[in-house]
Amino acid sequence: QPSKIVCVGLNYVQHAQELKMPLPQEPILFLKPPSAILPPGGEIIYPPSSRQMDYEGELAVVIGKRCRDVPADEVDKYILGYTCFNDVTARDLQKKDGQWTRAKSFDTFAPFGPGIVRIDPSKANIMTRVNGSTVQNSNTSDLIFSVPQLVQFISAVMTLESGDVIATGTPAGVGPLQRGDSVEVEIEGIGILRN
């Protein structure tokens, strides 16, 4: 049970390009509540207030011990490992609200798993499939802000507790989910998160 889930918006070069947005100068942060957590195999609930629910496959960092103001070159000693994450988003509500809290925070909107693994986060293939068809296919080498940069930046804002999760952003190819769909996020060296 993480105390918080810290998410990063617009953190892949190609994703920023597909949205025709300039690359951010600093990481864009938002939070998901722990009540949004969903284990592998769990069912994502389509909220009745939304008409467009999107998948966003992401690499997630799991913090291993409490930290604050961590220099980038010391980040690794505070990381337990990495896992797959799906930043499920009610896209229509995100556009309607003009900020992201409601659209990102519904129960079941933070699936992650299947395990916590030590990998090199700078060059891992990341892929999302919907009903077996590949919809996102990228590599973490396309990240705008690396894992060490993110942990340094976030830990300068807030204390990170053991078990906290940082979702590092989604690559290009974001799109909608329909009721009954199966969605998989696969990251090289970690495994497959299926919901």
Q: Which amino acid is at 106?
A: F
Residue 58 CA: distances (Å) to CA of 73, 95, 168, 190: 23, 21, 6, 12
Are 7 and 104 contacting, i.e. CB atoms less than 8 angstroms apart? yes
The pTM for the full model equals: 0.97
Q: pLDDT in tens for each of the 195 residues of the chain?
A: 899 999 999 999 988 888 788 899 999 999 999 999 999 999 999 999 999 999 999 999 999 999 999 999 999 999 999 999 999 999 999 999 999 999 999 999 999 999 999 999 999 999 999 999 999 999 999 999 999 999 999 999 999 999 999 999 999 999 999 999 999 999 999 999 999
